Structure 1
Amino acid sequence: MIRITEQPSKYRHLETLRIDEITASINKEDKTVALAIEKALPQVNALITSIVAKLKTGGRMFYLGAGSGGRLSVLDAIELPTTYGVEKGLVNVILAGGAEHLIEALEEKEDDAAEGWVKLQEASISNKDIVIGISASGSTPFVLGALKGCRENGITTGCIVSNPGSVIAKHADLPVEVVTGPEFITGSTRMKCGTAQKMLCDMISTTTMIQLGRVEDNSMVNVKLINNKIIDRSVKMLMEKSGMTDYDEAKKLLMAAGSVKNSLNNLLSIK
């Protein structure tokens, strides 16, 4: 396997560059990320199709990773219950070293080939679920060991990797290979690889939530009413969708129902 992510940067003597030269070069490299994802869309679509099928039949989704990719998946998963009103535990993260240590860079934990599968077992993983391994290199022992355990136990897996022909992709049922090329700083996969991982997590979770019916038109009708900004946005959403014109009346209905979706259902039942 050729580790493109570890190949030397195309840029040299960075310490001699002006600020505008550095930012322009980073921006130039970042522009290539979306194009790399575009090439992998058929793989992404296949993975999402399987995720949706699993969740619709009572299964759960698990991100599993280490380093930047693992931490980015934590950020994705923790926002879903609020944004889409889904229950906690539908989308989960197994992070090397533990999600409770998110702000610590416990990079040595990625070399533990046994911990990932142990953590999945502790979460009562079953063949109803789906596990997505995230690894820029495509060889992270923490991720690889867990995917091997899943395969041995008939659990569906996917992966997000940044090198072609990786060992992790070979052990995933639904691999997504987004080859973003050498990094601006050699080997610093928190950059383009991390950007690709963030974009893919957004794409996967957002599309999944839409497919599960958590979005109507283009609106977060199931968003949880956790602060004044969201409440105000939800009141206005309810007024737009229902034709209500009195803000206070709409707010009263919304707060009693708990969500825009529930409020609209209540209005339909009255009619």
Structure 2
Amino acid sequence: MKKILKNKYVLVVVVLLVGVLIGWLIKPSGESNSDKNGTNNEEKEQIWTCSMHPQIKRNEPGDCPICGMELIPLESAKNDILDPNAIQMSPTAMKIANVQTRKVGDDLSDKFIRLNGKIQVDERLRNTQSSHIPGRIEKLLVNFTGEYVKKGQILAYVYSPELVSTQEELLEAQKVKESQPQLFESAKNKLRNWKISENQIDKVLDQKKPVESFPIRADFSGYVTKMLTAQGDYIKQGQSIYEIADLSNVWVMFDVYESDLQWVNEGDFVEYTVD
């Protein structure tokens, strides 16, 4: 009886040992299958990203939280080893984002910059027309900006009480011209100082009476860019009445951002249009 019980115990122990051995053999295979299944699941998991903001990655479709565009599937690299900080984009995403690439080299790259600017007068060709006699502007013959004037053209007529008085002195000196020629010449010089021409002086002497209004002639040719007086104004000798500019050469002044200064060099080709 004791021998039978002993044999049963031995049989149970043997069965347990066999079971443990079988379980130990099966366990590694099970873990391997589990890892394999997990890897397959990870490989099958789809990532969604934004074509404009590749840093956005989601596990399901939706809209980009930055721009609101619909997310697109991210194509994972199969055999490429990428930098963890690198951004990978599909050809479609690159077209949408307008991404352009170029091989790195030693040649100089072309940079096109679009700038805004203004056309301005060349400061070297800007002149001020002043009156050489004091008085009141009786008539303005050039009365709007943009009008072209030629050198010597009459711009205005000025009535000057001082000039009338000087002409009267000249007429009185003419009477004693033979006995006091220096007085006569001195009276003429006063008129010359006011840029009164010899023809105008002779006209006064011929008609034996003062001329009340004298013309102001242009000292330069060009376009009137600014009017500094109006008809009826009283002006002093040397006071400016017009600004006249030669527009045969002008300046084009562009506004360049600080970030674009590195691309601007002397001698660069510039093409511009006028709106």
TM range (shorter): under 0.3
Structure with the higher fraction of residues in strand conformation = 2
* Normalised TM-score (structure 1): 0.19
